Homo-oligomer: A and B are copies of this chain.
Amino acid sequence: MIYLDTDYMAGAHPEVMEALNRTNMFHTPGYGDDKFTRRTRSLILEACDLENGGCQFMVGGTQTNATVIDRLLSRNDGVLAADSSHINVHEAGAIEAWGHKILTLEHTEGKISASQIREYIENFYADDTFEHMVRPGMVYLSYPTEFGTIYSKEELSEIYKVCGDFNIPLYIDGARLAYGLNAKDNDLGLKEISRLCDVFYIGGTKCGTLFGEAIVTKNPELLPRFTSLMKLHGGLLAKGRLLGVQFEALFTDSLYDKIGKYGVDMALRLKDMLLEKGYRQFIDSPTNQQFFILPNPVIERIKKEVSFELWGAPGSDESKVRFVTSWSTPADTIDKLSSIF
């Protein structure tokens, strides 16, 4: 069976696993106050060119989004986000559960624009009844988006400028960051992203670890008393060093980049193969998620040998599907797929 459902179907990258095995019997203090985690914080902040920044670790993406957004917003603030965003669609209401409204903007291939954000905020303040409405208190982006697309440096710079104009923070969900940084035609590096937002997270779960996300901020004062808040959110891992150890492996010998590059290469080879065979995309993604429209008989035929997700409800003749590659996609996958299609 070939697995292309999601990017979190295998365990950890062997080098990450090796680090966990190597350190397994050590005794260290809990909750992230250990030498591994401290060392990894420095490693990450250095890679981000944020020596005076802050770095915290949590277990999963929804937890991270809920905790960071909860910290950045006041009680009577909402978060601006694409209507297609993960927080709006696929987090079971975790943001609202903490009391915050998601103020949605219509997405274009998963993205929102600086002008949409500006218009929303200007309209808000222009409305006589704004005190009866939820104030836009921050902006949430995903990079890459839920549709595999990425923002350009220019687009991100413009968005960050709008946030600055209205003095609200910009937060980037980097669940698949490795695949974005290594996307075709990407012009944003880790250092640029670090500079062009207030808080973001470096995804581990989908990019090589068993679990874990590294939250990075240029300004630690934006996330005060964050350990206590993680505890309150049920997201402070007892054996916190597991996060430090895994991310240390990711940031050693450019493993994070290798993972991203490999996943994207597999995805682009898959895309080329399918295009060559005459199948149509419904979104052209430069990252590890690929979106195609397939005739239903093709779907029926291949799904005996390939595992993948329908994207939304099936159509009568053809349906939308998503294929996801990752660091764990076996090297011969595309060749095998080519013979199946």
Of all chain B residues, the one with the shortest Cβ separation from A126 is B313
Q: CB of A135 within 8 A of chain B?
A: yes
A9 lies within 8 A of chain B by Cβ: yes
Is there an interface contact between B30 and A6, defined as CB atoms closer than 8 Å?
yes
Is residue A298 contacting chain B, with contact meaning CB distance below 8 A? no
Residue from B5, B91, B229, B234 within 8 A of A75 (CB atoms): B229
Beyond A11-B239, A90-B132, A135-B225, 10 additional pairs, beta carbon < 8 A? A3-B27, A10-B24, A12-B24, A27-B328, A76-B93, A123-B313, A126-B313, A131-B227, A205-B239, A211-B239
A144 interface residue (CB < 8 Å to B)? no
For A63, the chain B residues whose CB sits under 8 A away are 234-235
- A25 interfacial by beta-carbon distance below 8 Å: yes
A28 / chain B contacts, CB cutoff of 8 Å: 9
Question: Any chain B CB within 8 A of the CB of A59?
Answer: yes
Alpha-carbon separation in the docked complex, A277 to B76 (Å)? 44
A236 touches B3 (CB 8 A): no
B92 touches A228 (CB 8 A): yes
What mask results when residues 16 to 29 of chain A are scored 1 for a CB within 8 Å of chain B, else 0? Answer: 01001101111111
- CB-defined contacts of A91 to chain B, threshold 8 Å: 132, 231-232
Contact of A193 with B by CB under 8 A = no
Cβ of A339 within 8 Å of any chain B Cβ, yes or no, is no
Give A307's nearest chain B residue, CB to CB: B27
Chain A contact-residue range equals 35 or more
The answer to whether A8 touches B25 (Cβ under 8 A) is no
Chain B residues with CB under 8 Å of A64's CB are 234
A114 at the interface (CB under 8 A from B): no
Taking a contact as CB atoms closer than 8 A, the residue among B5, B235, B236 that contacts A29 in the complex is B5
Cβ–Cβ < 8 Å partners of A123 in chain B:
313
A165 beta carbon closer than 8 Å to chain B? no
Query: Is A310 part of the binding interface, using a Cβ–Cβ cutoff of 8 Å?
Result: yes
Contact status B11-A242, CB under 8 Å: yes
Q: Which of A6, A90, A96, A128 has the most CB of B within 10 A?
A: A96
Nearest-neighbor residue (CB-CB) of A98 within chain B: B99
Decide if A21 touches B26 in the complex (CB within 8 Å).
no
Q: Is A67 in contact with chain B by the CB < 8 A criterion?
A: yes
> Which A294-325 residues have C-beta < 8 A from chain B?
307, 309-310, 312-313
Residue among B8, B100, B232 making CB contact with A238, cutoff 8 Å: B8
Which residues on the B side are within 8 Å of A11 (C-beta)?
20, 23-26, 239, 242
Contact digits for A207-239, partner B, Cβ 8 Å, 1 yes 0 no: 000110000000000000101110111111111
| CB-nearest residue of chain B to A205 | B238
Quick check: is A70 within 8 A (CB to CB) of the other chain? yes
Find A101's partner among B8, B93, B328 (CB 8 Å cutoff).
B93
Mask of A253-277 contacts with B, CB within 8 angstroms, 1/0 = 0000000000000000000000000
Instruction: Write out, one digit per residue, whether chain A residues 97-123 have a CB within 8 A of any chain B CB (1) or not (0).
Output: 111111000000000000000000001
CB-defined contacts of A238 to chain B, threshold 8 Å: 8, 60-61, 205-206, 211
